A and B are shown apart, each in its own frame.
Chain A
Amino acid sequence: MQKSTIIPTLNVSDLSIGFMSKQSSNILFNDISFKLNKAELVGIIGPNGIGKSTLIRTLSGVQSHLAGSIEIKQKNLKQFNPLELASELSVVLTEALATRTLSVFEIVALGRQPYTNWIGQLSSLDLNIIEKAMAITQIDDLKYRKSFELSDGQMQRVMIARALAQDTDLIILDEPTTHLDLNHKARTLSLLKKLCKEEGKSILFSTHEIELAIQLCDKLVVMLAEKVYFDSPDKLISSGVFSKMFPSETIEFDTQMGSFRIKK
């Protein structure tokens, strides 16, 4: 098989995450290992407070890791300078924007910053990429709207378009479905699926929408208290990982339907 020759876009091995200070290091999680290949959609799921956000922040370079290694296309994350990293990895975060006056076009255009000159001038190539990013995410008609006029769902698509404009093979999103209704949750995740299949992006995202993630993702990183599982959704279901996720007296997992039930 040719499998051994595939270079993973993101390769995480034996990673320890947590917070480090001068006095002590507070390790949240040990031995996290998973791979993200080209055109794969991978979700990170797990109960609240398990460390999903910390993992996302560590992978996107906001926070440093305590042990193990993170490699993007076989190059260690620590060896990237900010500008190099910006052309390999783009992020969509949960934090609210500081400004409300930028137009949709201006926000998406900021994604071109790693490639523009010292004053941020957009070339015709940049403009093409921006237009394409807005077309894929279906926000063309919002082009001149100010960000404060957008709904949460629209805003999420704008931030995804900005990440697309950054033109990176790897995109990491922190809980892209929070604050959205079911329709917009599904739309956002379908969009991510489409970006993987049609644009060849590798996308990693954290979410609480376990049932949607099971249906759409190629692989899942399941963070449970005792260890991290990494496999395709159907294998995870048959090995009974989801049943361990929540206390069995409140919620049970239906392996036939791939969904959770509240115990009455």
Chain B
Amino acid sequence: MITNRPTRSILLLLMLTILVFMVNVFFGSVNIPVKEVLMSLTGQEVEQESWNYIIQNYRLPKAVTAVLVGSGLGVSGLLMQTLFRNPLAGPFVLGISSGASLGVATLVMGSALMGGVLGGLGDSKWGIIIASSLGSFLVLLAVLAVSIRVRDTMAILIIGLMFASLTSAIVGILSFFTSAEQLQQYIFWGFGSLGNLSWNEVFILGIVFFLGIAFSIFSLKALNSLLLGEHYAKSMGLNINKSRILIILATSLLAGGITAFAGPIAFIGLAIPHIARQIMNSGNHSTLMPAVIFIGAIVMLICDSIAQLPTTDYTLPINAVTAIFGAPVVIWLLVRKKNMIF
């Protein structure tokens, strides 16, 4: 039966996700014997207490974060590509990451200019998370307020891009007047990071993630009919405006939440849906979405493993790794198939 083929691929992807997750937890900067990692995971006594701490409070939350980030960004990229019928769209076309950048830049670099109240917040993690969420939310709100006045979906795309330029200009001005130290802090935030989260923060990110995924699953039917174009979708009884709001809401939750906790992680959201389409050889969202969820997790876990540079003391910025290792993969896939599937 042909209908079984996608199910089998998805099961395979699920198993691969588990495997890559294990590899990610087993290997890191500190060399911990495989047996000891297993002991720690199963809750048994470990030879060195510091190993147990590293696994329980650093590697595990980091691996879970990687899964949430990869899956979430992949799904929101898929939603945006379908909504805008544009293979170049990603999770951030609605200005979410530029909004987050503006929020964080205002907090980190603006604190020096304004001094006082904001000054203390700049160093705290929650300060960054709140500033990032607030920035994303405000810019998204502005984009939506403008786009309610236009009925054209493509106009929303362009308005989102315009707001991104606008905010990056403001960030540019802020950086011009700031000190080198604060500029560095802002740039470090821009590299993205998976390993900064405590279990509590992972838990909150998880709630936001599952909400976003739930909204996405409720949009599945609408997404499939949008593949035929808005006129066809409407002729098949779809309430375009309602579906558009649901899709944008799902994307905002996923991309906004992830950016707040892990920084602006580029590339993944754009590339994962393309990899999924090539592997599944399908445009049907009912098979694409689970594939995107697992492939997103797999790619993010692999990128994180590479970024940790196992057995060395160095950690590469995750944002650089995703693009350096991901871009050639996408190029290779496209060249091999000689046909861009969208």
A residues lining the B interface (CB < 8 Å): 60-62, 82-87, 89-91, 93, 95, 97-103, 106-107, 110-111, 113-114, 116, 118-120, 144, 146, 148, 166
In the bound assembly, the distance between CA atoms of A61 and B234 in angstroms comes to: 9
**A106 vs B226: C-alpha distance when bound (angstroms):** 13
| Known contacts A98-B226, A101-B342, A118-B218: A111-B236 contact under CB 8 Å | yes
| Residue from A61, A91, A106, A146 within 8 A of B232 (CB atoms) | A91
In the bound assembly, the distance between CA atoms of A163 and B227 in angstroms comes to: 15
- Residues in A whose Cβ lies below 8 Å from that of B237: 82-87, 113-114
Docked pose: A83 CA to B284 CA in angstroms = 22
Q: 21 interchain pairs (CB within 8 A)?
A: A82-B237, A86-B235, A93-B229, A93-B231, A93-B232, A98-B227, A98-B228, A99-B342, A100-B341, A101-B281, A101-B342, A102-B282, A106-B283, A110-B227, A110-B236, A111-B236, A113-B225, A114-B237, A118-B221, A119-B286, A120-B220
**B88 CB to nearest chain A CB (Å):** 14
Scan residues 230-263 of chain B and give those whose CB is less than 8 A from a CB of chain A: 231-232, 234-239
Q: Is the CB of B234 within 8 A of A102?
A: no
What is the CB-to-nearest-CB distance from B176 to chain A, in angstroms, rounded to a whole number?
42
State A62–B232 Cα separation when bound (angstroms): 10
B residues in contact with A120, CB < 8 Å: 220-221, 224, 286
Q: Are A91 and B226 neighbours in the complex by a CB distance under 8 Å?
A: no
Beta-carbon nearest neighbor of B232 in chain A? A93
Contact assessment for A144 and B342 in the assembled complex, using a CB-CB cutoff below 8 Å: no
Q: Decide: B236 and A166 in contact? CB cutoff 8 A.
A: yes
Contact, CB under 8 Å: B217 / A100: no
- In angstroms, how far is the closest chain B Cβ from the Cβ of A129? 14
CA distance A60 to B218 in the complex (A): 27
Residues on B with beta carbons closer than 8 Å to the beta carbon of A110? 224-225, 227-228, 232, 236
Q: Tell me which residues across on chain B come within 8 A of A148, comparing CB atoms.
A: 339
Neighbour of A144 across the interface among B2, B218, B341, CB < 8 A:
B2
In this complex, which of A91, A101, A144, A148 has the most chain B Cβ atoms within 10 angstroms of its Cβ? A101
Determine the chain A residues whose CB is within 8 A of the CB of B59 once the complex forms.
Answer: none
Q: How far is the CA of A124 from the CA of B281 in the complex (A)?
A: 25
Q: Are A119 and B231 in contact (CB under 8 A)?
A: no
On whether the beta carbons of A90 and B283 are closer than 8 Å, the reply is no
Shortest distance from the beta carbon of B78 to any chain A beta carbon, whole Å: 12
A60 to B283: give the CA distance in the assembly, Å: 27
Question: How many angstroms from the CA of A17 to the CA of B260 in the assembled complex?
Answer: 50
Question: Which of A100, A113, A166 is the one whose CB lies under 8 Å from B342?
Answer: A100
What are the residues of chain B within 8 A of A101 when measuring CB–CB? 277, 281-283, 341-342
The answer to whether A102 and B236 touch across the interface, beta carbons within 8 angstroms, is: no
CB distance B227 to A102 under 8 Å? Answer: yes
Q: Count chain B residues whose beta carbon lies closer than 8 angstroms to a beta carbon of A.
A: 29
Other than A83-B237, A97-B227, A110-B236, give 7 A-B pairs with Cβ distance below 8 A.
A91-B232, A98-B342, A102-B283, A107-B228, A110-B224, A118-B218, A146-B281
Chain B residues positioned under 8 Å from A90 (CB to CB): 235-236
In the complex, which residues of chain A have a beta carbon less than 8 angstroms from the beta carbon of B234?
A: 61-62, 82
**Is the Cβ of B283 less than 8 Å from the Cβ of A113?**
no
Q: How far is the CA of A114 from the CA of B221 in the complex (A)?
A: 10
Chain B residues contacting A61 (CB-CB under 8 Å) are 234-235
Query: Closest CB-CB distance, A206 to chain B, in whole Å?
Result: 15
Binary per-residue interface labels of chain B (271-287) against chain A in the complex, 1 for a CB within 8 Å, 0 otherwise: 00000010001111010
Chain A residues near B286: list those with CB within 8 A.
119-120
- Using CB atoms, name the residue of chain A closest to B340: A100
From B85, B277, B283, name the one whose CB has the most chain A CB atoms within 10 angstroms.
B283
- Of the listed residues B235, B277, B284, B341, the one surrounded by the most CB atoms of chain A closer than 10 A to its CB is B235
A110 to B225, CA, bound (A): 7
Cα A107 to Cα B231 in complex, Å, equals 15
Task: Tell me how far the C-beta of B196 lies from the nearest C-beta in chain A, rounded to whole angstroms.
Answer: 36
B-side contacts of A102, CB under 8 Å? 227, 282-284
| Cα distance A86–B237 in the bound complex, in angstroms | 5
A101 CA / B85 CA spacing, docked (Å): 13
With contact pairs A82-B234, A110-B236, A111-B236 given, residues A116 and B229 touching in the complex (Cβ less than 8 Å): no
Is the Cβ of B227 less than 8 Å from the Cβ of A99? Answer: yes
Residues of chain A with a CB closer than 8 A to B236's CB: 86, 90, 110-111, 113-114, 166
Residues in B with CB closer than 8 Å to A144 are: 2
What is the CB-to-nearest-CB distance from A264 to chain B, in angstroms, rounded to a whole number? 43
Residues of A within 8 A of B235 (CB): 60-61, 85-86, 89-91
Q: Which chain A residue has the least Cβ–Cβ distance from B288? A: A101
Given A82-B237, A90-B235, check contact A113 B284 (CB 8 Å). Answer: no
